[in-house]
Amino acid sequence: MEPRYLQSLREGRLRRAAREAFHRLSSCDLCPRCCRVDRRREELGFCRTGLRARVASAGPHFGEEAPLVGVGGSGTIFFSECNLRCSFCQNWEISEGGEGAERGLADLGRLMLDLQRRGCHNLNLVTPSHVVPQILGAVCHAARRGLSIPIVYNTSAYDTVETLRLLDGVVDLYMPDLKWVDREVGERLADAPDYWEVATAAVREMHRQVGDLVLDEDGIARRGLLVRHLVLPGGLAGTPRVLQFLADEVSRGTYVNVMAQYRPAGEAHRHPPLDRRVTRKEHAEAVEAARRAGLTRLDGVSPR
């Protein structure tokens, strides 16, 4: 299964998408914050990112979902800053501290090619929503020079449908973290009361583009949607409703990782019950909610 961006490159659609995305930087409306700053002139909005993407780290990662990791690992590129910036972010130093170095398009493209040479099964773009133009430009550069592994868009799901449409025919695997339901929770934890409305529209669009997860003969993901959901203490995430939405309004064939690894980080201590870890009981109840919803493709969970 050929990565989608190769056909888009041949047809000229990849270059056109990159050009349109860079044009939108001059009055930036790429994400739901819609700051309207001129990032091409290095004006900074909510994401604190100008014309160049900043990369915190890159390399093979073996802690992702099994269909992404295989034997060669998932080739992760962690982008600095974030357009959501949850107060409990597990990567606080990157999303809030801004650790990393700026990369030009050619340099970012060479980074992608290096991950492929190192045997990674895919390019896993972590926190990409605010740097879509830079990603498209770098993929143009790398694809002309032999890039041929699937692209994973690893996002908080705080993405506009309009920006996701620029990625149609480019991204092979979407991996949104569908976070919470309640408007008050969104406002309190990320100044994003509209998160649920935005994220559910985004996930529907992602599924429209790539469908349910497709694996090759070795069990490696080639195309489709994988959804993560981080279980939060005290039921803050509204987990049953999240999972029911996926089953009823996306697909019962959705591959879902119901994650138990929440730990207090960032400013979590200011927002009880986020000042404690998730209990085994809370996670077990979340997995059971997924089963009740009719979801059967659960990462790391044996079918009954």
Provide the residue range defining the domain that includes 58: 4-298
Rg (CA), the chain: 18
166 assigned to some structural domain: yes
100 assigned to some structural domain: yes
Q: How far apart are CA 33 and CA 45, in angstroms?
A: 9
Model confidence at 1: pLDDT above 90: no
* Angle, vertex CA 262, rays to CA 258 and CA 267, nearest 5: 140
Question: What confidence tier does 303 reach under pLDDT thresholds 50, 70, 90?
Answer: low
Helices (H) then strands (E): counts for the chain? 11, 10
pLDDT, mean over the chain: 96
276 assigned to some structural domain: yes
Q: Which residues pair with 256 in a beta bridge?
A: 227, 298
The 3 state secondary structure assigned to 164-209 is: HHHCCCCCCEEEEECCCCCHHHHHHHHCCCCHHHHHHHHHHHHHHH
Average pLDDT of span 174-201: 97
Question: Do the beta carbons of residue 258 and residue 287 sit within 8 Å?
Answer: yes
pLDDT digits (tens, 9 = 90+) for 110-159: 999 999 999 999 999 999 999 999 999 999 999 999 999 999 999 999 99
Tokens of 180: 């919470």
Q: How far apart are CA 254 and CA 235, in angstroms?
A: 22
Average pLDDT of span 26-43: 97
Strand 123-126 with 214-215, pairing: unpaired
Domain CATH code at residue 270: 3.20.20.70
15 assigned to some structural domain: yes
**Structural domain count, the chain:** 1
Strand 297-298 with 255-259, pairing: parallel
303 assigned to some structural domain: no
pLDDT digits (tens, 9 = 90+) for 286-295: 999 999 999 9
Phi, psi dihedrals of residue 214, rounded to the nearest 5°: -115, 130
Model confidence at 304: pLDDT above 70: no
pLDDT digits (tens, 9 = 90+) for 113-122: 999 999 999 9
pLDDT digits (tens, 9 = 90+) for 41-96: 999 999 999 999 999 999 999 999 999 999 999 999 999 999 999 999 988 888 88
161 assigned to some structural domain: yes
Neighbour count for residue 4 (Cβ, 10 Å) = 22
